[in-house]
Amino acid sequence: MIDYLRGKVAHVESEYVVLDVRDIGYQVFTPNPYALARSEESVQLFTYHHVREDAMQLFGFTTRDEQALFRRLLEVSGIGPKVALGVLAGGRPETVVAAIQQENLTFLTKLPGIGKKTAQRMILDLKDKLGTIDSRWAVASMIDLEAPAAAAQGQSSSWTAAREALTGLGYREAELDKAWTAMQDGLTGEESPDALIKKALQQLFQG
């Protein structure tokens, strides 16, 4: 089993990156491929090797937390790799864990691909298991989910949070203003900060 890969990002698509590891290109599906596009140094992705009858796929994550939560999500009936990846693209591991532990259906059903029945199964199947993944997640139940939920109601609040995160990645104010302007037509006004970060990175990568 491949636990992690370390190499340079050779190519980026909307759902995956190609990681060059010693002149071998690995196609790795990841929650936010565009977040890796700017890296000129080697990156490390913790992986999950998914094998089925008609395909073998590698899924990659920048942290052990994402990798562990992805594996747990696959234990839930009705959640496959694509949906699990969407969950991680829509929320940070600690906030997803907190929502499950707090039985917050409102938050969970806002995640990509998650309806009410699937959210209920996530709570039923995982609520008592997530504490064993990592001791640091024991504090997840203390996270206030009302702040992210409130931010999602206002586009400006979501963009403020997203903008701060993108600034931390090294993007300039002028670049972010240009990306924000280009994004306007495709927004509903209900996007979370994480969703706006992904959309902004797509715009920034396209130039």
**What values do phi and psi take at 154, rounded to 5?**
-120, 125
Lowest mean pLDDT among 4-18, 24-38, 88-102, 122-136: 122-136
pLDDT tens sequence across 62-72:
999 899 999 99
Number of domains in the chain: 3
Q: Higher model confidence: residue 112 or residue 143?
A: 112
- CATH of residue 39's domain is 2.40.50.140
Q: Which of the four pLDDT bands, split at 50, 70 and 90, describes residue 179?
A: confident
Instruction: Answer with the one of 143, 165, 182 that is the final residue of a domain.
Output: 143
With cut-offs at 50, 70 and 90, classify the pLDDT of residue 39.
low
Residue where one domain finishes, among candidates 40, 61, 82: 61
Last-in-domain residue among 143, 163, 185? 143
pLDDT band of 35, cuts 50, 70, 90:
confident
SS3 readout for the chain: CCCEEEEEEEEECCCEEEEEECCEEEEEECCCHHHHCCCCCCEEEEEEEEEECCEEEEEEECCHHHHHHHHHHCCCCCCCHHHHHHHHHHCCHHHHHHHHHCCCHHHHCCCCCCCHHHHHHHHHHHCCCHHHCCHHHHHHHHCCCHHHHHHHHCHHHHHHHHHHHHHHCCCCHHHHHHHHHHHHHHCCCCCCHHHHHHHHHHHHHHC
pLDDT at residue 185 in the model: 73
**With bands split at pLDDT 50, 70 and 90, how would you rate the model's confidence at 180?**
confident
Shared domain check, 154 and 105: no
Pair 131, 70 in one domain: yes
| pLDDT attached to residue 120 | 95
Same domain as 91, residue 22: no
Q: Indicate the average pLDDT of the chain.
A: 81
Query: 115 and 93: one domain?
Result: yes
Q: Over 80: is that where the pLDDT of 136 sits?
A: no
Whether the pLDDT of residue 143 is over 70: the answer is: no
Confidence of residue 33 (pLDDT cuts 50, 70, 90): confident
Give dist(CA 146, CA 181) in Å, integer.
28
pLDDT value at position 124?
Answer: 93
What local confidence, expressed as pLDDT, does residue 201 receive?
85
Selected residue with higher pLDDT from 157 and 191: 191
What pLDDT sits at residue 199?
84
Residues 17 and 71 in one domain: no
User: Greater confidence, 161 or 141?
Assistant: 161
pLDDT band at 46 (very low <50, low <70, confident <90, very high): very high
Q: Is the pLDDT of residue 138 over 70?
A: no
137: domain range? Answer: 65-143
Exposure string for 143-164, b = 16+ CB within 10 A, e = fewer: bebeebeebbeebeebbebbbe
